[in-house]
Chains A and B, each alone.
Chain A
Amino acid sequence: EAQVTQNPRYLITVTGKKLTVTCSQNMNHEYMSWYRQDPGLGLRQIYYSMNVEVTDKGDVPEGYKVSRKEKRNFPLILESPSPNQTSLYFCASSWGGRVTGRNGYTFGSGTRLTVV
């Protein structure tokens, strides 16, 4: 089954303790992205990647890191989490705009992160 898998689904952590949220896709997509969702603010992009070793900032990159060493994986790293990073996080992947009719991101099921 074609899917984007992110882990964990739920995570409670303490301020300052480094964490990684994993994301993997099995569709051979070139594009991958991380979004955070907060009430009333919709989905805001954190980072995206257009291919292996190619990453760029989205709208809210502060406090986050990413890496794209392999095409299928795109982990999100919080080096020193703070309470304002409490949010619902989504990983997504896409063909990008090069394949008409197969555009748009496919999303994972989300990771609910609470930083106390």
Chain B
Amino acid sequence: GQQLNQSPQSMFIQEGEDVSMNCTSSSIFNTWLWYKQDPGEGPVLLIALYKAGELTSNGRLTAQFGITRKDSFLNISASIPSDVGIYFCAGPPDNWGKLQFGAGTQVVVTP
């Protein structure tokens, strides 16, 4: 079953604010992935993390691979309306075929 716990479930923020979300697992992961899903579309890969402690950025997005290898964090700085969507963490618990996803964080940005 699902091993990833993602929080918060949803966030309502004002344009310009920073957003933080996190994901924890019951087992050690060797890779953490962060996806974004726009309404009506499939998820799209934002950031991939491969080493404990790694900090990686993609524009206004920054993600970190937790030192314990059981958690990861995603930050969005200076949010804009197009940041609206569902953000998912994901990881392969034992093999790459069984990529598992968190339940997602719904982000709503208001002007």
Contacts and interface: CB of A to CB of B under 8 A. Distances in A.
B62 interface: no
Interface of A: 4, 31, 33, 35, 40-45, 48-50, 56, 58-59, 90, 92, 94, 96-97, 100-101, 103-110
Contacts of B100: 45, 59
Given A42-B102, A42-B104, A44-B2, A97 B44 contact: no
User: Which size class do B's interface residues fall under?
Assistant: 20 to 34
B3 to A, nearest CB: 10
Contact of B45 (A48, A59, A106, A108): A106
B47 to A, nearest CB: 10
A108 B98 contact: no
Nearest to A40: B103
A96 B50 contact: no
B46 to A, nearest CB: 10
A45 B99 contact: yes
Contacts of A103: 31, 33, 48, 96
